[in-house]
């Protein structure tokens, strides 16, 4: 269920970047589109796993502790799994880079808990699977 929702989000928001074989029109719009798509995909997965509404996750205030933790995990995944810089994650999630750094530190500290670590491991795998470029035999052969 989560994977299907994420695939729908990913395919809906991510334009086909290899369809024409030409590079994207410019680096800024391309990067911005990719970062926003990654945010959507990560947020769908995190909201499903942590049981928080997307609207709460995207809210401007910290909200409840459960929502804050889910948002911190989403930013952590964007930084660690997608390789986005702290500044890029901050811009994408509409937060300051120092907030992202703090979130990443908190999430790393919580990884000592085996059940939390397992949840993150699974979220990392899903994020990699959904945000990685797809193999297209028509293009790649």
Per-residue pLDDT at 11 exceeds 60 = no
**pLDDT tens figures, 50-88:** 999 999 988 887 778 999 999 999 999 999 999 999 999
Task: Please report the domains of the chain, with CATH numbers, ordered by start residue.
Answer: 2-131 (1.10.1750.10)
Sign of the CA dihedral 83, 84, 86, 90?
negative
The pLDDT score that the predictor gives to residue 23 is 44
Per-residue pLDDT at 9 exceeds 50 = no
The pLDDT score that the predictor gives to residue 114 is 97
Contact 41, 72 (CB under 8 A): no
pTM comes to 0.74
39 Cβ contact partners less than 8 Å away, ≥ 6 residues apart? 74, 78, 92, 93
pLDDT band for position 133 (50/70/90)?
Answer: confident
């Amino acid at each position: 269920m989560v994977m299907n929702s994420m695939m729908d989000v990913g395919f809906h928001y991510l334009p086909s970047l290899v369809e024409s074989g030409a590079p994207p029109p410019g680096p800024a719009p391309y990067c911005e589109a990719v970062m926003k798509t990654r945010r959507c995909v990560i947020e769908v997965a995190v909201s499903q796993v942590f049981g928080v509404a997307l609207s709460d996750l995207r809210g401007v205030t910290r909200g409840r502790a459960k929502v804050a933790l889910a948002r911190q995990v989403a930013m952590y995944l964007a930084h660690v799994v997608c390789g986005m810089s702290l500044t890029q994650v901050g811009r994408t999630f509409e937060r300051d880079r120092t907030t992202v750094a703090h979130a990443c530190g908190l999430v790393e500290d919580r990884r000592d808990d085996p059940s939390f670590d397992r949840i993150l491991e699974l979220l990392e795998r899903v994020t990699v699977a959904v945000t990685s470029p797809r193999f297209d035999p028509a293009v790649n052969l």
